[in-house]
Amino acid sequence: MRFKNKLSAEQWQAIYNGPFAVATFISLSSGNAMDFVAEMATVGKLMATAAAPGEPSGYGELVDAVLADMDSVKKEDAKGGIHYGGKNKDEAAMRAEARQVVADAAATIDALPGADGYRRWLLDVARATALTKTGGFFGIGGKSEIDAKEQAAIDELAGILAYSTKA
């Protein structure tokens, strides 16, 4: 099913940018600029290795469709939501933009088949981002754990996505 063809450009951008917005939201919750770079690299790697072409992701048809379309999305079509850049970029503004992209994605997927899988996928991306080894000196001596600020950010995202993280 080609979800992209059934959505407006803005809706598709929100769904497409959801995992990157989640990673940004988590990354900006704690850590420094080097941690941010490492954590954003983690989400890029996750997207690149999520599933082999044509193979199910394990998250359902919506995520499968997003992953299938990621390779065909032009950079200008994917833009939207978070404006990175500039050494004077306000982290609070970037975090607010990321939060809004996640909220827009949640609203867009709400009535689509596979919505729960998409929500679970975004939260798994959030956890993987938070578990990126941070600290230390160029990765040496760093830790791979979710700190209290990152957990609070994950919990906030779960609320935005209307997804229970309780087992």
**Residue 26 forms part of a structural domain:** yes
User: Residue 98: what pLDDT?
Assistant: 92
User: Residue 108: what pLDDT?
Assistant: 92
Quick check: 99 and 9 in contact, CB under 8 A?
A: no
**Residue 166 forms part of a structural domain:** no
* Consecutive H or E run containing 17: helix 9-27
Quick check: 24 and 105 in contact, CB under 8 A?
A: no
**Residue 116 forms part of a structural domain:** yes
Nearest to 67 by CA among 82, 56, 78, 77: 56
Q: What residues contact 55, with CB distance under 8 A and at least 6 apart?
A: none
User: Residue 72: what pLDDT?
Assistant: 67
- Alpha carbon distance 69, 164 (integer Å): 28
**Residue 167 forms part of a structural domain:** no
User: How many domains does the structure of the chain reveal?
Assistant: 1
User: Residue 106: what pLDDT?
Assistant: 94
Domain residues for the domain of 102 are: 3-160
**Residue 22 forms part of a structural domain:** yes
User: Residue 158: what pLDDT?
Assistant: 95
Taking 70 as the pLDDT cut, the residues of the chain under it are: 1-3, 34, 48-54, 71-88, 133-143, 164-167
The residues pairing with 143 across neighbouring beta strands, listed in sequence order, are 134
**Residue 86 forms part of a structural domain:** yes
Q: How many CB atoms lie within 10 A of CB 128?
A: 18
pTM: 0.82
